[in-house]
Structure 1
Amino acid sequence: MKTHEIEIQKFKAATNNVHGQVLLKVDALISNRTPIDGIEPSSLLVMTEQNARVLMALLKTQIAEFDNKKPKSRHGRHG
Protein backbone atom coordinates (compact mmCIF):
# COMPACT_ATOMS: atom_id res chain seq x y z
CA MET A 1 0.00 0.00 0.00
CA LYS A 2 1.30 3.46 -0.84
CA THR A 3 1.07 6.04 1.92
CA HIS A 4 0.73 9.79 1.48
CA GLU A 5 0.48 13.00 3.43
CA ILE A 6 -2.48 14.97 2.10
CA GLU A 7 -2.47 18.61 3.20
CA ILE A 8 -5.78 20.34 2.53
CA GLN A 9 -5.30 23.86 1.20
CA LYS A 10 -8.96 24.64 0.53
CA PHE A 11 -12.31 22.86 0.36
CA LYS A 12 -14.08 24.04 -2.81
CA ALA A 13 -17.33 22.08 -2.93
CA ALA A 14 -19.20 19.05 -1.64
CA THR A 15 -21.86 16.88 -3.25
CA ASN A 16 -23.24 13.41 -2.80
CA ASN A 17 -24.19 10.77 -5.33
CA VAL A 18 -26.67 7.93 -5.78
CA HIS A 19 -24.10 5.46 -4.41
CA GLY A 20 -24.25 7.02 -0.93
CA GLN A 21 -20.88 8.71 -1.28
CA VAL A 22 -19.89 12.25 -0.32
CA LEU A 23 -17.61 13.88 -2.90
CA LEU A 24 -15.34 16.71 -1.78
CA LYS A 25 -13.58 18.95 -4.29
CA VAL A 26 -10.33 20.20 -2.71
CA ASP A 27 -7.06 21.92 -3.40
CA ALA A 28 -4.41 19.80 -1.70
CA LEU A 29 -0.68 19.15 -1.54
CA ILE A 30 0.05 15.43 -1.71
CA SER A 31 3.42 13.92 -0.92
CA ASN A 32 4.69 10.39 -0.36
CA ARG A 33 4.93 9.37 3.28
CA THR A 34 7.36 6.75 4.55
CA PRO A 35 5.85 4.61 7.31
CA ILE A 36 7.69 4.57 10.62
CA ASP A 37 9.11 1.13 11.56
CA GLY A 38 6.70 -0.96 13.58
CA ILE A 39 3.68 1.25 12.90
CA GLU A 40 0.95 0.26 10.47
CA PRO A 41 1.36 2.30 7.28
CA SER A 42 -1.34 4.91 6.92
CA SER A 43 -1.94 8.00 4.88
CA LEU A 44 -2.21 11.24 6.83
CA LEU A 45 -4.82 13.96 6.20
CA VAL A 46 -3.67 17.36 7.48
CA MET A 47 -5.74 20.57 7.71
CA THR A 48 -5.98 23.79 9.67
CA GLU A 49 -8.67 24.37 12.29
CA GLN A 50 -10.42 26.71 9.84
CA ASN A 51 -10.49 24.01 7.14
CA ALA A 52 -11.70 21.46 9.71
CA ARG A 53 -14.63 23.76 10.49
CA VAL A 54 -15.40 24.13 6.78
CA LEU A 55 -15.27 20.33 6.41
CA MET A 56 -17.68 19.91 9.34
CA ALA A 57 -20.15 22.36 7.77
CA LEU A 58 -19.90 20.70 4.35
CA LEU A 59 -20.45 17.24 5.84
CA LYS A 60 -23.42 18.44 7.89
CA THR A 61 -25.03 19.80 4.71
CA GLN A 62 -24.39 16.61 2.75
CA ILE A 63 -25.76 14.37 5.52
CA ALA A 64 -28.91 16.53 5.63
CA GLU A 65 -29.27 16.02 1.86
CA PHE A 66 -29.02 12.23 2.34
CA ASP A 67 -31.68 12.44 5.05
CA ASN A 68 -33.97 14.54 2.81
CA LYS A 69 -33.75 11.91 0.04
CA LYS A 70 -34.90 9.08 2.32
CA PRO A 71 -38.59 8.15 2.08
CA LYS A 72 -40.68 9.82 4.76
CA SER A 73 -42.78 7.65 7.04
CA ARG A 74 -46.54 8.15 6.58
CA HIS A 75 -47.26 6.99 10.13
CA GLY A 76 -45.94 9.90 12.18
CA ARG A 77 -43.31 9.48 14.84
CA HIS A 78 -43.81 7.87 18.20
CA GLY A 79 -41.87 9.57 20.89
Structure 2
Amino acid sequence: MKTYDIEVQRLKSARHDHGMIELGADALVQTRQLRDGQPDASALRLTVDNARALVLLLKQQLAELDKLQPRSRRSGRA
Protein backbone atom coordinates (compact mmCIF):
# COMPACT_ATOMS: atom_id res chain seq x y z
CA MET A 1 0.00 0.00 0.00
CA LYS A 2 1.31 3.46 -0.86
CA THR A 3 1.24 6.01 1.91
CA TYR A 4 1.32 9.80 1.60
CA ASP A 5 1.96 12.95 3.57
CA ILE A 6 -0.84 15.38 2.68
CA GLU A 7 -0.48 19.02 3.71
CA VAL A 8 -3.64 21.07 3.26
CA GLN A 9 -2.64 24.60 2.30
CA ARG A 10 -6.07 26.09 1.61
CA LEU A 11 -9.67 24.89 1.85
CA LYS A 12 -11.69 26.08 -1.15
CA SER A 13 -15.13 24.49 -1.11
CA ALA A 14 -17.44 21.84 0.28
CA ARG A 15 -20.50 20.22 -1.26
CA HIS A 16 -22.53 17.08 -0.92
CA ASP A 17 -23.92 14.86 -3.63
CA HIS A 18 -25.39 11.35 -3.49
CA GLY A 19 -24.34 10.66 0.11
CA MET A 20 -20.76 11.93 -0.30
CA ILE A 21 -19.21 15.16 0.94
CA GLU A 22 -16.59 16.53 -1.44
CA LEU A 23 -13.99 19.04 -0.24
CA GLY A 24 -11.99 21.22 -2.58
CA ALA A 25 -8.53 22.11 -1.31
CA ASP A 26 -5.05 23.15 -2.36
CA ALA A 27 -2.77 20.47 -0.95
CA LEU A 28 0.81 19.29 -1.16
CA VAL A 29 0.91 15.50 -1.57
CA GLN A 30 4.17 13.58 -1.21
CA THR A 31 4.94 9.89 -1.02
CA ARG A 32 5.73 8.89 2.55
CA GLN A 33 8.83 6.85 3.31
CA LEU A 34 7.97 4.21 5.91
CA ARG A 35 10.28 3.82 8.85
CA ASP A 36 10.49 0.97 11.35
CA GLY A 37 7.81 1.26 14.01
CA GLN A 38 5.75 3.74 11.99
CA PRO A 39 2.14 2.84 11.22
CA ASP A 40 1.26 1.97 7.62
CA ALA A 41 -1.08 4.93 7.05
CA SER A 42 -1.21 8.24 5.20
CA ALA A 43 -0.99 11.44 7.26
CA LEU A 44 -3.05 14.61 6.85
CA ARG A 45 -1.56 17.87 8.13
CA LEU A 46 -3.36 21.18 8.36
CA THR A 47 -3.05 24.42 10.25
CA VAL A 48 -5.31 25.16 13.21
CA ASP A 49 -7.15 27.76 11.10
CA ASN A 50 -7.74 25.23 8.31
CA ALA A 51 -8.84 22.61 10.86
CA ARG A 52 -11.39 25.06 12.30
CA ALA A 53 -12.62 25.92 8.79
CA LEU A 54 -12.90 22.21 7.96
CA VAL A 55 -15.03 21.57 11.04
CA LEU A 56 -17.32 24.49 10.16
CA LEU A 57 -17.66 23.33 6.54
CA LEU A 58 -18.48 19.78 7.62
CA LYS A 59 -21.06 20.99 10.15
CA GLN A 60 -22.68 23.14 7.46
CA GLN A 61 -22.82 20.27 4.96
CA LEU A 62 -24.22 17.85 7.54
CA ALA A 63 -26.88 20.37 8.56
CA GLU A 64 -27.93 20.71 4.91
CA LEU A 65 -28.14 16.92 4.60
CA ASP A 66 -30.26 16.73 7.77
CA LYS A 67 -32.74 19.19 6.23
CA LEU A 68 -33.27 16.72 3.39
CA GLN A 69 -34.30 13.93 5.78
CA PRO A 70 -38.02 13.41 6.47
CA ARG A 71 -39.09 15.21 9.65
CA SER A 72 -39.66 11.92 11.49
CA ARG A 73 -35.99 10.95 11.04
CA ARG A 74 -34.51 14.29 12.22
CA SER A 75 -35.15 13.72 15.92
CA GLY A 76 -32.11 11.46 16.27
CA ARG A 77 -34.17 8.34 16.90
CA ALA A 78 -33.71 5.44 14.49
TM over 0.5: yes
- What is the TM-score of this pair, normalised by structure 2? 0.87
What SS does the aligned partner of 1:52 have? helix
| Counterpart check, 1:34 vs 2:37 | no
Per the alignment, residue 6 of structure 1 pairs with 6
* 33-42 vs 51-60, greater mean Cα deviation: 33-42
Please identify which structure carries the higher helix content: 2
For the 8 Å contact 1:8–1:26, the answer to whether it is kept is yes
What one-letter code is carried by the residue in structure 1 that aligns with 2:51?
A
- Which has more radius of gyration? 1
Identity score, percent: 44
| Structure 2 segments unaligned to the other structure (5+ residues) | none
For the 8 Å contact 1:35–1:42, the answer to whether it is kept is no
Instruction: Please tell me the root mean square deviation across aligned C-alpha atoms, in Å.
Output: 1.2
| Structure 1 segments unaligned to the other structure (5+ residues) | none
Determine the C-alpha separation between the residues in 2 that align with 1:38 and 1:9: 28
- What is the TM-score of this pair, normalised by structure 1? 0.86
- Equivalent residue runs for 1:1-79 within 5 Å: 1-18=1-18, 20-73=19-72
